[in-house]
Amino acid sequence: MNLLSSLRLSPKWAPYVFVSPFLLLFLIFGVFPLAFSLYLAFQSWEPTSGLSAMHYVGFENYSFALQDEWFWKSLKNTAWLALVSGVPQHVVAIPLAYFIHSSFSRLRNGVVGAYFLPYITSTVAISILFSSLFSTDFGLINLGLRVLHEIPGLGWLLPAQAIDWLNDPDHIKPAISLIVFWRYVGFNVVLYLAALQTIPKDIYEAATMDGAGRLQQFFYITLPSLKPMIFFGVTLSVIGGMQLFEEPFILTGGRGGSDQAGMTTAIYLYRMAFDFNDFGAASAMSWLLFVVVGALTWLTNRAFRPRDASH
Amino acid sequence: METKTERISTWAAYLVVGVGALIMLTPFYFMFVFATHSRTEIFSLPPPIFFGDSFMDNLNILTQRMPFWRNLGWSLYVAVASTALTLLFCAMGGYAFAMFDFKYKKALFGVVMATLLLPSFMNMIPTFMIMDVLGWIDQPRALYIPGAASAFGIFLMRQFVTASIPKDLIEAARMDGCGELGVFWRIVLPLLKPALGTLGLITFIASWNNFIGPLIVMRSPEMYTLPLALRSLQSPVDTEWGALMAGSAIATLPLLVLFVISSKQLISGLTTGAVK
């Protein structure tokens, strides 16, 4: 501690000293890459020919991206996956959180932990595990479906044939969505639990006195009070869903799947840079995707904002 | 004074929540079960439901196919270095943002917070090029040094300093002749312990699981971190599923242990922004 005392630092300079290590790294690895990527999006460059071979091409990368069939396809895939994995997360998480909130006390932490656990585990390990569970002939998921198919009355709902989840373009997206749903539903449960704890108990008591049943209370008290959290949760799902990369990357062996059915935009721009060596187009695509994410976030905001400000 | 319908709905809630929790945990169970079976056992009818005895064989295959222990070592090294740097830099930065006034503070903090919402793919390509120019390709520092500039860490630390360190305490320490560095080291850091614990856990786990980062900067298999090494074992024709599951289980086990010890702290840390 003698060293500390001998290094006198005046209060005037102290904040700059404290903030500078972070700030330096933040500028180099957080801000500069962004600016550089903006610049790169207007350049034509191949990494093999060295940095000096870069030249300005105007909006060529953008017009290339906008005319690229695969780019549009990847956007559609991403939106599909975000929707199909995202909406059920909230539809399931809200009632689950409500049940946990109203009926669990002692076991609560354990139960919440079980739902939350997938969120903190390695996406790679999880995706590898699921690619074995999804395998056609011996995967547990097809096996389970076959068992369910034998049940009379339920069988007609389910396919008789084993599904080639990972290679059939029609089935790769549901497979990815299932993993994403499984991974993030618990995160949303925790969000909604936190919001439920802020609803005052006496509102429910008053409603009970007035003869409102549990279902009515849920629809007339709980759901409206959760609206701000639903907005926040859906925004996170949109932002997260639109940058989906790891699960489909592992599941499709890094290539996007047959007929590019599992190729998200994030995967495509990775491939554009590192498989096809077009860094300019990849940067332009990343900015286009950024605009899409921004627009979707704005739309979500519009959808959840109260119509009447004075209300 | 529960009515009959209330009791039924309570039991229905137990059932739904309980069955759901079991479904959530099932994949983990099979990860560990499969880790103890050979490839032919995993893909047989019926598939194994209980633990087998092929774990050591799987581990042997794993270490033959790739420098598994080395990869595990790099994962650990990067996670520890990244956690240490992030804690130090974010504690200092968060303290400065919370307790001091300095030029452009508001604007700077705004920019830092804006990057929190920035999609991660935005930096993917330029980061590769920067690392290439710096000569950091295949260097662990390409992973832990940029990671230390954590906007989330700054947010968490500033939040905690504002909420729980009284300004008077800092003033009193200054009056007693404690220098600025001393105040930070002897008073602020010890008080920050709970927040440091949370941020440390989150940083360690994020680094341990990080896939895109090493995918971009680590090119040779000896430098792979665990997730990258595991994914390199996947092949369209000849995947050693037993070995792959053993590797995945080993990659998952430390997280399970951390989670069991600290799930409450972790969950509340990871959902801060939302709850505040």
In a domain, A31, yes or no: no
| One domain, residues B124 and B51 | no
| One domain, residues B59 and B26 | yes
| One domain, residues B20 and B140 | no
| One domain, residues B154 and B241 | no
pLDDT at B177: 85
pLDDT at A105: 83
Span between the terminal Cα atoms of chain A, in Å: 59
pLDDT at B265: 85
In a domain, A184, yes or no: yes
pLDDT at A306: 62
Query: Using one digit for the tens of pLDDT, what is the confidence trace for B38-79?
Result: 988 888 877 888 999 999 999 999 999 999 999 999 999 999
- Identify the closest residue of chain B to A183 by CA–CA distance: B24
Residue B44 at interface with chain A, using a CB cutoff of 8 Å: yes
| One domain, residues B39 and B107 | no
The answer, as to whether pTM is greater than 0.90, is: yes
Residue among B13, B14, B27 whose CB faces A129 most closely: B27
Q: Cβ–Cβ of B10/A112 closer than 8 Å? A: no
In a domain, A2, yes or no: no
In a domain, A278, yes or no: yes
In a domain, A70, yes or no: yes
pLDDT at B188: 93
Q: Cβ–Cβ of A124/B179 closer than 8 Å? A: no
In a domain, A26, yes or no: no
| One domain, residues B190 and B59 | no
- pLDDT over threshold 50, residue B190: yes
Q: Cβ–Cβ of B179/A8 closer than 8 Å? A: yes
Q: What is the CA radius of gyration of chain A?
A: 25
Q: Which of A6-15, A62-71, B217-226, B251-260 has the lowest mean pLDDT?
A: A6-15
Residues of A in contact with B249 (CB under 8 A): 125
| One domain, residues B19 and B62 | yes
Residue among B9, B22, B148 whose CB faces A25 most closely: B148
| One domain, residues B28 and B85 | no
In a domain, A310, yes or no: no
Residue range B176-180: mean pLDDT, rounded: 87
Q: Maximum distance among all alpha carbons in chain A?
A: 83
Domain of A234: which CATH number?
1.10.3720.10
In a domain, B267, yes or no: no
pLDDT at A311: 42
| One domain, residues B111 and B214 | yes
| One domain, residues B9 and B101 | no
In a domain, B210, yes or no: yes
| One domain, residues B175 and B138 | yes
pLDDT at A310: 43
Query: Using one digit for the tens of pLDDT, what is the confidence trace for B104-118?
Result: 999 999 999 988 878
Domain of B159: which CATH number?
1.10.3720.10
- Identify the closest residue of chain A to B96 by CA–CA distance: A15
In a domain, B275, yes or no: no
In a domain, B167, yes or no: yes
Residue B186 at interface with chain A, using a CB cutoff of 8 Å: yes
Residue among A4, A26, A112 whose CB faces B181 most closely: A4
The C-alpha of B89 sits at a distance from chain A's nearest C-alpha, in angstroms, of 5
Q: How many structural domains compose chain B?
A: 2
pLDDT at B273: 61
Residues of B in contact with A186 (CB under 8 A): 24
Beta strand A55-56 with A43-44 is antiparallel
pLDDT at A258: 87
Residue among B121, B230, B234 whose CB faces A266 most closely: B121
The C-alpha of B86 sits at a distance from chain A's nearest C-alpha, in angstroms, of 9
pLDDT at B242: 92
| CA pair distance A88, A60, nearest whole angstrom | 39
Q: How many structural domains compose chain A?
A: 1
Which domain covers residue B30, as residue numbers?
1-66+233-251
Q: Cβ–Cβ of B231/A37 closer than 8 Å? A: no
| One domain, residues B197 and B98 | yes
Q: Cβ–Cβ of B45/A138 closer than 8 Å? A: yes
Residue among B5, B108, B227 whose CB faces A122 most closely: B227
pLDDT tens track of chain A, all 311 residues?
A: 455 555 677 778 899 999 999 999 999 999 999 999 999 999 988 777 777 778 888 899 999 999 999 999 999 999 999 999 999 999 999 999 999 998 888 888 889 999 999 999 999 999 999 999 998 888 889 888 888 888 877 777 777 788 888 888 999 999 999 999 999 999 999 999 999 999 998 888 888 888 888 788 889 999 999 998 999 999 999 999 999 999 999 999 888 888 999 999 999 999 999 999 999 999 999 999 999 999 999 998 888 876 554 44
CB B55 within 8 A of CB B35: yes
Residues 93-152 of B with CB under 8 A from A: 93, 95-97, 99-102, 105, 108, 111-112, 115, 117-130, 132-133, 145-146, 148-149, 151
- pLDDT over threshold 60, residue B14: yes
pLDDT at B152: 92
CB A128 within 8 A of CB B248: yes
Amino acid at B194: P
Which domain covers residue A203, as residue numbers?
60-135+172-304
In a domain, A104, yes or no: yes
| CA pair distance B94, B159, nearest whole angstrom | 8
